[in-house]
Amino acid sequence: MEVIRGIRQMQEKALTVRAAGRSIALVPTMGFLHEGHLELMRVGRRLCDVLVISIFVNPTQFGPSEDFDQYPRDEEGDLQKARDVGVDLVFIPTAREMYPEGFQSVVHVERVTQGLCGTSRPGHFDGVTTVVAKLFNIVGPDVAVFGQKDYQQLTAISRMVTDLNMPVKIVGVPTVREPDGLAMSSRNKYLDQEERASALSLKKSLDLAERMLAEGETDAGVVRQAVESLILEHPHTRIDYVTLCDPVSLEEVTRLGEETLLALAVHVGRTRLIDNRVIRKGTPGPPEDEGAS
Ligand code: AMP
């Protein structure tokens, strides 16, 4: 496995790979890799000849009062995990080279970045789409793999690629969870024991909404209120948003249709967690005790 830190070196390497007729899969990450990231890599590994991952804690997608400085980092551990999963090349650029003095360009996706996380994290998605566009230009992947855990991010990136005719196929991978259902996240490391228990309220509330829909409830306001109550029953929780929206446009709905995205952001202690699920009419909801497993 090769580690490349320079942008020019990465571009040259990618050119050589493509000149040899080999396809490239890219998995962009911010490091502190967990099983969710590794699943994305396994998917990329299957789809292309050469698997590239990037590790870059991108400063421009963090707000001024967010956790950029505290964001967990473990390059050595990450490299070991990447090696074990069959990564060919790890690209680890520096912020100085990614954003040199004079940098002033932004890729901005309009409507799908407005609600949900876009409301509470202004500028976040500009940071995401801009860095992903840069990574695409540097690595030139045939396929790029992203997690559905960051549903709005995946939507914004897909929109950008379509709108700007970027020659890359975007693949979304279902959320990987801990055995009890908590969505894996590098930020779970911040949770103490009590908060870890309360963090399960996100997954439980997705189950609850799915059950309510299965039992015939289609009023988004009623479902949202039940979800909010369930979350707030758990100590240390503060709701950022609970939104029921169209899974494509991400526009809020008042009635649950054939497919509805339930997206959540909840502060548990000092940690902000997100989760989501597309809930569908006509599918049986999960059993009530599932959350306890
Ligand atoms: P991050 O390092 O948090 O920027 O995440 C890098 C990529 O991993 C993104 O495409 C995320 O959506 C994806 N990802 C993060 N957590 C999970 C998870 N639990 N399951 C699947 N994909 C994930």
> 60-101 pLDDT, tens per residue?
999 999 999 999 999 999 999 999 999 999 999 999 999 999
3-state secondary structure of 145: strand
What is the residue with the minimal CA distance to atom 17 of ligand 1?
A: 36
User: Which residue type, as a one-letter code, is found at position 15?
Assistant: L
Which among 147, 237, 243, 242 is positioned nearest to 199, based on CA atoms? 237
Q: What is the number of other CB atoms lying within 10 angstroms of the CB of residue 156?
A: 27
Q: Supply the pLDDT for residue 223.
A: 98
Q: Supply the pLDDT for residue 66.
A: 94
- 147-155 mean pLDDT: 98
Q: Supply the pLDDT for residue 209.
A: 98
| Ligand 1 pocket, Cβ-based, cut-off 6 angstroms | 29-30, 36-37, 39-40, 146-147, 149-150, 173, 175-176, 183-186
99 within 8 A of 58, measured Cβ to Cβ: no
Q: What is the number of other CB atoms lying within 10 angstroms of the CB of residue 146?
A: 22
d(CA 157, CA 61) in angstroms, rounded, equals 14
DSSP 188-228: GGG--HHHHHHHHHHHHHHHHHHHHHHTT--BHHHHHHHHH
Active-site hit among 37, 124, 234, 236 = 37
CA distances from 50 to 77, 167, 168 (A): 21, 17, 15
State the chain's mean pLDDT as an integer.
96
Substitution site in 26, 27, 29, 30 for ligand 1 pocket (most atoms within 8 Å of beta carbon): 29
Residue 114 scores a pLDDT above 80:
yes
Q: What is the number of other CB atoms lying within 10 angstroms of the CB of residue 105?
A: 7
Report CA(82)–ligand 1 centroid distance (Å): 14
Q: Supply the pLDDT for residue 287.
A: 86
Counting residues of the chain whose pLDDT is more than 70, the rounded percentage is 98
Report CA(111)–ligand 1 centroid distance (Å): 22
pTM of the model: 0.97
Q: Is 37 a catalytic residue?
A: yes
Which among 194, 60, 176 is positioned nearest to 121, based on CA atoms? 60
pLDDT digits (tens, 9 = 90+) for 49-71: 999 999 999 999 999 999 999 99
pLDDT digits (tens, 9 = 90+) for 215-270: 999 999 999 999 999 999 999 999 999 999 999 999 999 999 999 999 999 999 99
Report CA(36)–ligand 1 centroid distance (Å): 6
3-state secondary structure of 44: helix
d(CA 168, CA 137) in angstroms, rounded, equals 10
Q: Supply the pLDDT for residue 290.
A: 53
Report CA(149)–ligand 1 centroid distance (Å): 6
Substitution site in 30, 37, 273 for ligand 1 pocket (most atoms within 8 Å of beta carbon): 37
Report CA(217)–ligand 1 centroid distance (Å): 31
Residue 133 scores a pLDDT above 50:
yes
Q: Supply the pLDDT for residue 278.
A: 98
Q: Supply the pLDDT for residue 35.
A: 98
3-state secondary structure of 120: helix
Which domains are delineated in the chain? 2-173 (3.40.50.620), 186-280 (3.30.1300.10)
Band of residue 291 on the pLDDT scale cut at 50, 70, 90: very low
What lies within 8 Å, CB to CB, of 188 at 6+ separation is 178, 182, 196, 199, 271, 273
Substitution site in 53, 149, 188 for ligand 1 pocket (most atoms within 8 Å of beta carbon): 149
Handedness of CA 39, 69, 275, 186 (dihedral sign): positive
Index of the ligand 1 atom closest to the CA of residue 32 = 2
Q: Supply the pLDDT for residue 293.
A: 42
